[in-house]
Amino acid sequence: MDINELVSEYWPHLMVLAIALGKAILILIATGFAARLARRGVQRLSGRLDATLIPVLSNMAVWGVYIVGLLMVLGSFGVNTTSLVALLGATGIAVGLALKDTLQNIAAGFILLGLRPFRVGDFIQFGDIMGTVQEVGLFTTQLDTTDGLRISAPNSNVWGQTLTNFTRNATRRIEIVASIAYGDSIDTGMEVLRRLVAEEERILPEPAPAFAVRALADSSVNLHLRAWARTDEYWDVYWALMKKLKPALEAEGLTIPFPQRELHIVNQVADQRREQTVHE
């Protein structure tokens, strides 16, 4: 069989393959363009949707476009996509059983996005990890710690532990303990704390600040101050009060005592020798 016969015999098949290949290339180009449009469309909703949802919805939109594009490419080559979808479903079950931990992270991610115990920008703690939330993805939650580290925590770990959100509420309570000596006046110590609160304008009037004797400790009387401030000003107010506390106590003649203990030493050997000397 010469070349002309080969061409004449396989030419129709080559033309069909070329047409299918051309369609596939056009579909892939259109899919990439549609995926970019889908990502931009979701990101444009950032003003109307919570920032925590944007990354996940954006990724889901892009992957959805790619899956549709892949099915269209396979269809252009004559593949029965209905059977393929059924096959992928069965394969997905097997893969799901093998990737149980990964699916747990995905499920936890959807729960976090649905219940939203925190949002992007919140400062949270779970277990020993503390940081500011940067992104909640399908698999991991991204946080920045106070010392500039980026932590990528599996969603199942975040959801599976007690979670503290330090910035969700608008106000936060400040607690300060001031220790004075037993010989000092408790009323004078209370007056110092009241004066500090009155001079700090960032302390909120409601709930009203509280002053009490917290404990009669081993070597000091511990006075307790409770006051409320805006969450975003919490540390500034706390540090300002702590800086002023020591000079204010000393200006009134109050003493911040050091821990003290009385030790009674019994020298048994010396006592025995003394008794022997007396008997002799």
**Phi then psi dihedrals of residue 179, to 5 deg:** -100, 130
What is the pLDDT, as a whole number, of residue 169? 93
Length of the chain: 280
Cα four-point dihedral sign 111, 115, 117, 122:
positive
Q: Tell me how far CA of residue 235 lies from CA of 140, 199, 239, 244, 271, in angstroms.
A: 29, 17, 6, 14, 58
Question: Residue for token digits 């059983």?
Answer: 97
Q: What angle do CA 260, 224, 215 make, to 5 degrees?
A: 45
Residue 39: Cβ within 10 Å count? 17
CATH of domain 171-251: 3.30.70.100
What is the pLDDT, as a whole number, of residue 3? 60
Q: Same topology for domains 3-98 and 118-165, yes or no? A: no
What is the pLDDT, as a whole number, of residue 64? 79
Q: DSSP characters for 108-166?
A: HHHHHHHH-SS-TT-EEEETTEEEEEEEE-SSEEEEE-TTS-EEEEEHHHHHTS-EEES
Q: What class has domain 3-98?
A: mainly alpha
Domain ranges of the chain: 3-98, 118-165, 171-251
Confidence band, pLDDT 50/70/90 cuts, at residue 208: very high
Higher pLDDT, 146 or 17: 146
pLDDT tens digits along 34-91: 888 877 777 776 655 566 666 767 777 777 788 778 777 777 766 666 666 666 666 6
Q: What is the mean pLDDT of residues 199-221?
A: 93
Query: Distance between CA 135 and CA 153 in Å, rounded?
Result: 11
Is 225 a residue whose pLDDT tops 70?
Answer: yes
Q: What is the DSSP letter of 203?
A: B
**Are 224 and 193 contacting, i.e. CB atoms less than 8 angstroms apart?**
no
Q: What is the CA 206 to chain-centroid distance, rounded?
A: 29
At position 252, the amino acid (one-letter code) is E
Higher pLDDT, 187 or 105: 187
* Element of type H or E holding 224: strand 221-230
What is the pLDDT, as a whole number, of residue 107? 84
3-state class (DSSP) for residue 213: strand
**Phi then psi dihedrals of residue 224, to 5 deg:** -120, 130
Q: Tokens representing 138?
A: 């399908």
118-165 carries CATH number 3.40.50.300:
no
Query: Distance between CA 70 and CA 79 in Å, rounded?
Result: 11
Query: Distance between CA 136 and CA 155 in Å, rounded?
Result: 8
